[in-house]
Amino acid sequence: MNYLIGAFKPPCIISITFSDGKTRKQASVKKENGQTALVPLFQSQENVVGEVSIEPLAGKKVEHNGVKIELLGQIELYFDRGNFYDFTSLVRELDVPGDLHDRKTYPFEFSTVEMPYESYNGVNVRLRYILKVTISRNYVSNIVEYQDFWVRNYTPLPTVNNSIKMEVGIEDCLHIEFEYSKSKYHLKDVVIGKIYFLLVRIKIKNMELEIRRRESTGSGPNTYVETETLAKFELMDGAPVRGESIPIRLFLSPYDLTPTYRNINNKFSVKYYLNLVLVDEEDRRYFKQQEITMYRLLES
């Protein structure tokens, strides 16, 4: 049995390192097993530079048909697990066919890499960037090693950021207006607004503001939608009166938010909503939902 295990064990150890790995910022990423890991952090248009080391095990020789490294941007839908959709694919050939008897190191560089989307680990989808080293072999399976890295992309303040003004009402019972100061928010922003009660003929018990994230994956009959309530913020406890104005000030920094993703490669979207909820004394709920755009602010 031990002999059989040894027969399938790779005859070498592959390691992938980044040239600035000791100084580059790291992102804390939750893995599928629930544990977190630190991975190198990049942004679009950066150079991805490092080296690949291949070290044959003692007494082993590695016969190969070439060695290559790929930089891949991939989308994986969990209902189609194992199938990856590549939106970025770059390759560098590291070695021509031959034999490896001793440890060998190969430098690699991918210059000004276009990485248009941020990395994302969601409920039903993940978007990831990896380096993939392949040692091609005859008659036996290829030897493959992966190295994950994380991408965050930054955006300057939008030149246009319109306020949101809406009315909601129940005929002859309730009429309110609410206003948010803008429609686009960075991840550390503050939601500022006001709610005006123009007509109140039902007994309202309390009012809260929710932040909701809606992740949609797939298309047609294979569309899956997951909605998470990330935050609940109580705006008012007790009955309002006509003419009353309630201020809104909700800090976003404590919450686990991402930028908005809009129809990425026709595979998935992630959208955010402000959901205003009113509860009356009979526990009936009235709500009005408004989509907002989230972005990661380019810090000066």
pLDDT beyond 70 at 4: no
Which pLDDT score is estimated for 2? 41
> Could you confirm whether domain 164-295 is CATH 2.60.40.640?
yes
164-295 has the same fold as 12-151? yes
Higher-confidence residue: 8 or 261? 261
Q: How many whole angstroms from its chain centre is CA 124?
A: 11
pLDDT tens per residue across span 13-33: 999 999 998 899 999 888 777
Q: Looking at the structure, give the CATH architecture of the domain made up of residues 12-151.
A: Sandwich (2.60)
Q: Mean pLDDT over residues 87-92, rounded?
A: 96
pLDDT beyond 60 at 79: yes
Which pLDDT score is estimated for 242? 77
Which pLDDT score is estimated for 284? 79
CA dist., res. 90 & res. 24, Å (int): 22
Q: Where are the chain's structural domains?
A: 12-151, 164-295
Higher-confidence residue: 51 or 203? 51
Q: How confident is the model at residue 8 (pLDDT cuts 50, 70, 90)?
A: low
pLDDT beyond 90 at 244: no
pLDDT tens per residue across span 290-300: 999 999 998 64
CA dist., res. 133 & res. 106, Å (int): 11
